[in-house]
Chain A
């Protein structure tokens, strides 16, 4: 395949004429995440917050590494069978992805899109495979509640009252395998008992949006405009209507960002109704003290890997748009009084026979 076959429909919308295939995925989730509505749908559950490690940063690394290793073992591949890995996380200098890749050994492209990293990594993996740069690529991300608290908020043991707008950084890791759709999958073990193949048909790269919101305790409101912009541009680029989708899953807008996104779309006369869902709302139940909902790079990735993609395999969902959303601020820009720029990347997945 040639680069030309990744047709650029302009303004960041990509159509894959030979769609790459999402052949497998693996999720590793923390204790609180498994107590939520997705319960035991995760592939691996980690009960110890520190995972037996000296620091929470090391534990987060184990989440990413664990997800990639689990994916390889499910798919019956070795690390040497994979050409590229696109991975990212929330910590400074991408230490989680970089340090985990040191052990994994797959050539790494580090990706930072804050909580939008999940769809950004899948989008890049699809681009690499569609262009022929890789036959098989892995997209992976992880976040850890306590390492995120350390970096973005306060010391863990410091007493701080949470606000109703606060979101809860998810603990977990997820990895996705993207392969060339024109060839037969070469894995030794046929991945799970599937009936449908999941093709990545098109994608939209996000534009950074900033509506001047400054409160890092209300990231859902800051990110909703980015999700709206990407969804509108994706519909424009793909020529589809919102009714063509069985599910449009945003990353982590939560209970505040979600209604705001509905408002923004309604202004454009787009009413997705029930098909618009948010991973931040789906990951936890309301009685888990997560206030506005879940967040973190792992939030959307866990919901995709544990809920959305398995449903697509079974044929319950046919066409899904994954729109992970990210706040691109740092604690320093916030202290310096800057507003919060945000981004959302969309990946369209279609289940075919």
Chain B
């Protein structure tokens, strides 16, 4: 019985963490190029509704994910045009994108309100899914969960092992210097922003097609903001983003189990609901407080517009 509970909590934790990982890793790449896009919440919402509508009409959840990806990237490119080409203030443009995206998703999603999709069966990995306790939780999951792990390794490899990642980090540190040695700063920033938007769109698609296969207005429920905060508190490092996302998911799920168990504890439920936020921030701040490592990992020109003079 205890083993089942453990497996159930772990399973739910991984599921709850996945949309955060997808979105936050995209934002991490985005921000490592020096562009701060606060519109994650809006991009997730638009991704979610686009994915739901496509999956609903086509019957294919995978076309839905693709639609979410494209919709998120399209939203991000609108932001990119404002923030990179027109050099508008990134904070203001990002906030506008967040608000606009949430509203747009609600508007487009009206006809789909309270419709549901057939649940997508999980993919059970052979052999390792039979590992006691862990197997059922980790290796009998949705395909996008496995995709989020692959994304983690891909981002890690890209940032620290590939030349393109090196160029991206250089652009985020000093766009002027990167331009001076001949790298296309504007193009790289556009690509990074589009990638961030695409991943946020996939994060949204995971919510509306796999996690709870239905469309409800406001179903993103602040996850875009949490993903943004995760990236900062994880000091722009992929492993810490993963850790933070699962920590958040874990505490979220555990407190739901505790509340659901109806234990007679004299404890305000609001406090329990705020626990995931508190715990994530406290832990990430505690492990990321060495000023030297922060300096080495944070993109120095984050949020500063740059355009090479003609």
Note whether A and B form a binding pair. Answer: no
